[in-house]
Structure 1
């Protein structure tokens, strides 16, 4: 009889008595999946980004036994405009502070290695700001910001295959066909393709000025098999990165707060 697959270690299901032991066994590490609720063209549900971040972190938690915090389902989606219904966007300043507060509370529960696993491209700036604030406030807290679409070279290549400024494209559609088919409107995929119009532009334009239907790329080329293979790569490559992070230490032991003491060989 084959062994049953491991289950993810979900923070929300653990008691206050269990969490310290969970963290001790995982070198003080935790995963925070971050997504968005936003339009994804006529063929995908609005929860695509947080559904993916949640599924990916669950799979990685199951492999690594690193506790997973509840997924954040809202993100910085202001660039999608109000042309299409469905987008629930956070102000980037609010998002920065929200993640900062989540990280601070996790720190007080014992987290010392926090992986911010980002499933939405334009969350990157507020998440980086939150990382900077947390790192400055907690000298012994290490943070990693990982974007799901660029976790490795092969994952990046798959996402960018049909567009540089991709959205609801071949990769994302295939992922949802494989992971969450309830989010996919198969009858709307065939006419959903829309080209990338951003090449050579100087300014960063919102999606209402770069896409006719909220899509950038060729979702018509997607397949569940390709999506399943891509997700397997994402799990494998993020798992490897997390495992490396569990044993990493800072290159130098110097305190953030100083003072700077110059000694020979320092």
Structure 2
């Protein structure tokens, strides 16, 4: 669990609410269902319109990475690859077939299967790099749903403000209705700008970083498997792959 994400969101909300209270404002005045519907509903609709169904659904599913990021286990991957290298040197590539069922990650299992099948090193690299690139591109397109939401929500906040002011202008003769319209106008802007800068854009940037880590973990597998196919020394493979640990820090 990524505790810093929870702390960051709670800290941002606390800062806004504390600032409102310190200025003598009523915190309850920031709760406006109408403004929320305009901003969040409009933003969601705009994002859905620009995305394919798969991209939109995948983007929603990836939101949990912000709070519970996947563990890519670079150290374990390196140990496994060096172990495969030792096994291959002693007993041949076919001996690695016993390790296939223990690989839960499809990409790693495919890489090991290519190695067991005796594919040429260059073919292994080409096949795996194509899958890596297409997978990364799909992930980034899904993460863009949150980046797009960060671009649309401030505009939706302005739209909510305009609608609120229209409501005010329509009821100038009834002072009792003016307060509600003005509240919706300004709170909608707060929701739009706040959601973009406290949630949507930071979430998009964090997802892009995690996608980079995922792709790097797969690059590590490619380099290790190709090195085994080339018959390189296990110690040399270990030394080379250790360089990938820097990005995991």
Is TM > 0.5 for Structure 1 vs Structure 2?
no
TM-score (norm 1): 0.27
TM-score (norm 2): 0.29
Choose between structure 1 and 2 for higher RCO, CA contacts under 8 A separated by at least 6 residues.
2
Q: Identify, as 1 or 2, the structure richer in helix.
A: 2
Answer with 1 or 2: which has the greater Rg. 2
